[in-house]
Amino acid sequence: MTSTLVLLRHAKSAYPSGVPDHDRPLNGRGRRDAPVAGQLLGEAVGPIDLALVSTALRAQMTFDLASAALSVVRRRDEPGLYLAAPKVMLEYVRRCEADTLLLVAHNPGTEDLAEELSGVGQAKFPTAAFAVLRADVPFSGWKPGCARLAEFTVARG
């Protein structure tokens, strides 16, 4: 059995004055990049059993724009993914029963989790980038070093 985890960092966000961090929307580049990420992601992994999405507006918008090109069976919005540490993100992964799981979240957690799971560090994990990780165990058995990095893509529209 192979489990596939996709870690998608939200697309580029705006910094409107007086808007709390959690409520920052995507900027123009982010709105262009997110659909490209969805297209590339769909080609790379096919159907997704479950998407866990941070409740931050920029992550929600990224998923909404990307999902037009994706086949996602279920979506769950998770407040705990907002600025989550890798350890917290991994706990979400371990609790999932799926073959293919998508997490839409933030840095540095996204980048750090990809590196922890695969042992492969990226020089950068920019906005609208995604890592596809695979392991021959169910998600309940995922731990640092268990996965291989199958793909790393930076989407630009």
Q: What would the two tokens of residue 69 be? A: 């090109």
Residue-wise pLDDT tens digits, 83-123: 999 999 999 999 999 999 999 999 999 999 999 999 987 66
CATH number of the structural domain spanning residue 52: 3.40.50.1240
Residue-wise pLDDT tens digits, 24-48: 999 999 999 999 999 999 999 999 9
Residue-wise pLDDT tens digits, 54-85: 999 999 999 999 999 999 999 999 999 999 99
The total of other beta-carbon atoms located within 10 Å of residue 16's CB is 10
The pLDDT of residue 1 is above 90: no
What is the reported pLDDT for 123? 66
13, 88, 130, 133: CA torsion to nearest 10 = 180
What is the reported pLDDT for 72? 97
Burial of 1 per CB tally in 10 Å (0-12, 13-18, 19+): exposed
Q: For the chain, how many structural domains are there in total?
A: 1
What is the reported pLDDT for 141? 97
Residues 6+ away with beta carbon under 8 Å from 122: 111, 114, 115, 129, 131, 152
- Domain of 133, in residue numbers: 3-138+147-154
Please report which helix (H) or strand (E) contains residue 133, including its range: strand 129-135
What is the reported pLDDT for 75? 98
**Which among 157, 132, 155 has a CA at the least distance from the CA of 44?**
132
